[in-house]
A and B are shown apart, each in its own frame.
Chain A
Amino acid sequence: MLLRRAGKGDEDAFALLYRRHQGALYRFALRMSGNAWAAEEIVQDVFMTLMRDPKKYDAARGTLGGFLYGVTRNRVLKHLERLPREVSLEEKTENGAAAGIVLQDASTPAVQAEKRERVELVWAAVLDLPAEFREAVVLCELEERSYEEAAQMIGCPIGTIRSRLHRGRALLMARLEMLRDAPRRAGLTRKAGAAK
């Protein structure tokens, strides 16, 4: 209904449609890319596509949300493919997490810093996963979608999702262990250096 109105030039209908879907799409793009600028570009691109050719969406084939998610997913995967050739505008922290993204928290600065550090660590571990495993982890663990939903969104059998999650989890746990140990090791090295 909103899309039909938007297709006839109703700007408010289009704005409403955008507000309804942008959050989920932006978060998915951000969690997958770890880059706020890229996520912003992807979301804008997705809605530009919808604006230019609303007939691309076929209601008989699924919901508009699913369609938009599919377009976003394609854009994210393209972005990840291009990534080695592109230089990110956002500098990365020692942990590998994107420093340009500000995680908001209402607690004290010290607690905030500790939490942020931990979250950045986990995010860096997620971003280190290969795209297909990362997608399964983002959908099932961060967005808390069921295996069926994730399978439907990606367009693959549930078994594939299970398998990707299994491998993604294994890699994630190994990476998290490594990242947790890294500061500890660095601390020990510094102490040893100081003792000498």
Chain B
Amino acid sequence: MTCDEFEAIGLDAERDASLTETQRAEAAAHVASCTRCSALRVSWEAARIELRSLAVATAGMNAPARVEMRLRQQFGTQYNTPRVRRTAVVAAWALAAAAVVVGAVSWVNWRNSQRANLTDKSNTPVANPGTAEQNAAPDSPTLMADNELSDFTFLPGVLPTDTDDATILEVRIQRGALGALGLPVNEDRAAEWIQVDLLVGNDGLPQAVRLPNEMRE
């Protein structure tokens, strides 16, 4: 091995795993016989010790804590901001969808009520109580009115269609007063006070009367 070869590969022969055993032996033989290379090796060993001291002095050094703090801050900005934005967008869409649903339900309800009003107006519960009973649902308010009206006896000369906006008045009268309304009266009991329901029209005139049950029977 020449001095140049020793400088190139022999100075660190022990650490260089790519060298063969023969090359290592040659390097050892050369340094044993060459004073220049021996001095070079001593010089390098001294430099190496100093390099080790530098390595030890800087071995425990780490990046300052502020770097991690800054990175965490950036991480939060990068990952949390889009998440918050996404949540806000989803919430906005959910609110918009809820508003549409509420609007649609309200509109359907309003339309149904309008339709029901039209149906109420077109039906004449007093004139055709039977028909009204057949058409209306069992628990509808129209049916209750029809049932109430079906007990009335129309006074002579009153048409059933005139009772659309009539009001029921509960009055206490003498039985003889029924004669004035054109109804037959038992003269023996004419002075007797009875409770009757009068169906009074818009004009304030009675149109029908409902007698107590015992009288009807």
Contact in complex: A115, B53 (CB < 8 Å) = yes
B51 CB contacts on chain A under 8 angstroms: 122, 126, 137, 141-142, 172
Contact in complex: A172, B47 (CB < 8 Å) = yes
The stretch that binds A, out of B63-71, B104-112, B189-197, is: B63-71
B47 CB contacts on chain A under 8 angstroms: 122, 169, 172-173, 176
Contact in complex: B79, A11 (CB < 8 Å) = yes
Number of residues on chain B facing chain A (CB within 8 A): 38
* Interchain nearest-CB distance for A165 vs B (Å): 7
- The answer to whether residues A22 and B17 also contact, given A166-B7, A166-B8 and a CB cut-off of 8 A, is no
B33 in contact (CB, < 8 A): no
- A14–B72 Cα distance when bound, in Å, is 8
- The answer to whether residues A141 and B48 also contact, given A39-B63, A40-B63, A147-B18 and a CB cut-off of 8 A, is yes
The stretch that binds B, out of A47-55, A75-83, A87-95, is: A47-55
The stretch that binds A, out of B54-62, B166-174, B207-215, is: B54-62
Contact in complex: A126, B67 (CB < 8 Å) = no
* Interchain nearest-CB distance for A24 vs B (Å): 10
Contact in complex: A103, B67 (CB < 8 Å) = no
Partner among B16, B55, B61, B76 whose Cβ is within 8 Å of the Cβ of A141:
B55
Contact in complex: A144, B71 (CB < 8 Å) = no
A148 CB contacts on chain B under 8 angstroms: 17-18
- A25–B78 Cα distance when bound, in Å, is 23
Partner among A44, A52, A140, A169 whose Cβ is within 8 Å of the Cβ of B44:
A169
- A97–B163 Cα distance when bound, in Å, is 113
A146 in contact (CB, < 8 A): yes
A181 in contact (CB, < 8 A): no
How would you classify the secondary structure of chain A's contact residues: helix, strand, loop or mixed? helix
B9 CB contacts on chain A under 8 angstroms: 162, 166
For B56, the closest partner residue in chain A by CB is A119
* Interchain nearest-CB distance for B47 vs A (Å): 5
* Interchain nearest-CB distance for B30 vs A (Å): 15
A16-38 contacts to B (CB < 8 Å): 18-19, 22-23, 25-27, 30-31
* Interchain nearest-CB distance for A26 vs B (Å): 4
A132 CB contacts on chain B under 8 angstroms: none
A78-112 contacts to B (CB < 8 Å): 103-105
B20 in contact (CB, < 8 A): no
- A115–B54 Cα distance when bound, in Å, is 9
- A23–B25 Cα distance when bound, in Å, is 39
B93 CB contacts on chain A under 8 angstroms: none
Partner among A9, A48, A52, A142 whose Cβ is within 8 Å of the Cβ of B55:
A142
* Interchain nearest-CB distance for A154 vs B (Å): 15
For B48, the closest partner residue in chain A by CB is A141
B115 in contact (CB, < 8 A): no
A188 in contact (CB, < 8 A): no
9 A-B residue pairs with CB within 8 Å: A9-B80, A11-B76, A22-B67, A23-B62, A52-B78, A104-B60, A119-B53, A119-B54, A166-B9
The chain A residues found within 8 Å of chain B, CB to CB, are 9, 11, 14-15, 18-19, 22-23, 25-27, 30-31, 39-40, 43-44, 47-48, 51-52, 103-105, 115-116, 118-119, 121-123, 126, 137, 140-144, 146-148, 158, 162-163, 165-166, 169-170, 172-173, 176
